[in-house]
Amino acid sequence: MNFQWLVAVRFLRQGRFQSVLIGVGVAMGVAIIVFLTALINGLQISLIEDTLGTQAHIVLKPRAEQARRLTSEAEGRSLTLVQQSPQRLTTIDQWQRLLPVLARTPGVRAVSPLVSGPALAIQGAAERNVTVTGIDPVSYRRQIPVQDKLVAGAYQLGPDQVLVGLDLANELGLDIGGRLRLATGRRDRVVSVSGIFDLGLRDLNLSMVYMHLRSTQTLLDLPGGVSRIQLQVKDIFSAEAIANNLKRQHALQAESWMSTNGELLNGLRSQSLSSDIIRFFIAVSVAFGIASVLVVSVVQRSREIGILRATGTSRRQVIGIFLWQGGLLGLGGSLLGLLSAAALVLLFTHLVPALPFPIPLTAPLMISTAALATGTGLIAAVLPAMRAARLDPVEAIRG
C-alpha cells in the first residue's frame, strides 16, 4: 500500500469528525451544483424543444437579389441611385443534387426541401392570409413531427389535400374533409383538409397550411423549384458554425436558429452564465472549507509531521500526504454529493408531479462535477501541504 495514501487515510480516519463534517460540506456543494445544473439544463432543453420543435435548425435560401446601381454622368458630375430589388420567389439551383451533399455534411441529421409562399385561404365569405408550405411529407416528418401534433385527421398529403392549423380551421369553420380555396396572385386551387394540427403557437396555427411539394410548386408558379432547404443538426449549438460553413461552400443564404432567435439564445446564455457563477462560488466555498480543515489538521498534527520527518519522510512525501487528504475529501464528498443530487432529483420529480420538464442527470455532468470537486480539493490542499512540508521537525516534535 502506498505510504502517502496510507498516512492520508489514517489521518482522515483518526480525525473522522472533521473529515465527515467537511465531506458533508463538499457533498452539499456537489449536490447543489449537480441538481441546479440538471434543473437548468432540463429547463433549457424544454425551452429549446418548445421553440425549435416547429422550426428548422438551419434554413438555406437563394441569395437575395442584389440592388442595381444606376449611374449617370453629366458635365463631369456623377449621380448614383441605388434601388432595392423586389424579392421574387426564386428556386435554389440544382437543389436535387444538393440534397445528398447536404445530408452527408458532418453534424447534419436531416434534410428536407420545401417551397413556401403567401396565399389567400377562402372558405365561403371568410378569407385569411396564410403561408402555404409545400413539403415532402416523408423527409419533412423527420424534421418537424407534424404527425405528432395532429388533433384531427391524418398526416396525409395527396395532390389536393392540406393540413391546416387549429385556429385557421376554427376561423374558417373547417373540419376534416372540408374544402377551401387557396388563391395566389396568379393561380388558385380547391383543396380538402386531411388533418388539423396544433403547433402550440397561435400565429402558426392561424397562418400555416401544409401542402404537398409538387402541388405547392404549381400553386406558387415555381414548377420543379424549391425556395428553401431545411436542415436539422445533431448538436443544436453547432448550427451557426455549420450554417457558416454551408454559406461558404454553396452560393446560398444560410440562417441558423441561433441568428434568428437571438433573444432565446441570450436567455439560454444568461441562464448558463448564472449557473456557472453559482458553480464557481460553490467551488470556492468548497475549496475554503477543505483548506481550512487541512490547515487546522497541519497545526494539530505538527508533532506527527515532525516524527514522520525525523523517521525519513521527505518534504515531498509530506506534501503528497496532504494532497491525498484534499483529493480524498473532494472525491468522497463528490460521491456522496452525486447520490444526494440523484435523491434530490427523485424527490423533486415525485413532489412536483406536473413538472413541465424532466431533470436530466447525465453522466458527463456528474463526472465533470466530481472531477471539479476533487480538483478543488487538491488545489485547496496545496497551501496546507506546503506549510506542513516547511515545518521544522525539531520545533514540530517539541510542539
Partner 1 sequence: MAEPILTLNGVTKRYRVDTPAEVEVLHATDLSLAAGDFAALIGPSGSGKSTLLNLIGLLDRPTTGTICLDGQETARLNEAGLTRLRGQSLGFVFQFHHLINAFSVAENVCLPLMARDKRLNRSALAQAETLLDAVGLGGFGSRLPSELSGGQQQRVAVARALVADPALVLADEPTGNLDTGSADEIFALMRQFNRERGTTFLIVTHSTELASRCNRHVHILDGWVTEDVH
**Per-residue contact track with partner 1, 270 to 299, x per CB under 8 A?**
------------------------------
Q: Which is nearer to partner 1, 141 or 315 (CB)?
A: 315
Beta carbon of residue 306, minimum distance to partner 1 (angstroms, whole number): 8
What's the Cα-to-Cα distance from 144 to each of 57, 220, 232, rounded to whole Å? 10, 22, 9
Q: Least Å distance between CB 303 and partner 1?
A: 7
- Measured from the CB of residue 328, what is the shortest distance to partner 1 in angstroms? 14
Binding segment (CB under 8 A) for partner 1, from list 137-145, 270-278, 377-385, 391-399: 391-399
Hey, which residues does 117 pair with through a beta bridge? 132
Site pattern 313..352 for partner 1 (x: CB under 8 A): xxxxx-----------------------------------
Is the CB of residue 391 less than 8 Å from the CB of residue 74? no
Asked whether 290 and 26 are in contact (CB, 8 A), the reply is: yes
Considering the complex, state which of residue 70 and residue 394 has its C-beta at the smaller distance from partner 1. Answer: 394
Residue 351 φ/ψ, nearest 5 degrees: -75, -30
Q: Minimum distance from CB of 273 to partner 1 (Å)?
A: 45
**Could you tell me which residues come within 8 angstroms of residue 119 by beta carbon, excluding any fewer than 6 positions away?**
129, 130, 131, 132, 182, 183, 184, 209, 219, 220
* Residue 299 C-beta: closest distance to partner 1, Å: 16
DSSP letter string, 140-178: HHTTS-GGGGEEEE-S---TTEEEEEHHHHHHHT--TT-
Quick note: the x/- pattern for partner 1 over 4-23, rule CB under 8 A, is x-xx--xx-xx---------
Cell, residue 65? 437579389
Asked if 247 interacts with partner 1 (CB under 8 A), we say no
Q: Which residue in this structure is represented by grid cell 433549457? A: 44
Q: Of 53, 117, 178, 393, which lies in the binding site for partner 1, with binding defined by CB under 8 A?
A: 393
Site string for partner 1, 295-314 (x = CB under 8 A): --------xx--xxxxxxxx
Give the whole-angstrom CA distance, residue 205 versus residue 159. Answer: 22
Rounded to whole angstroms, the Cα distance separating 223 from 183 reads 16
Residues that bind partner 1 in the complex, under the rule CB under 8 A: 1-4, 6-7, 10-11, 13-14, 303-304, 307-317, 392-394, 397
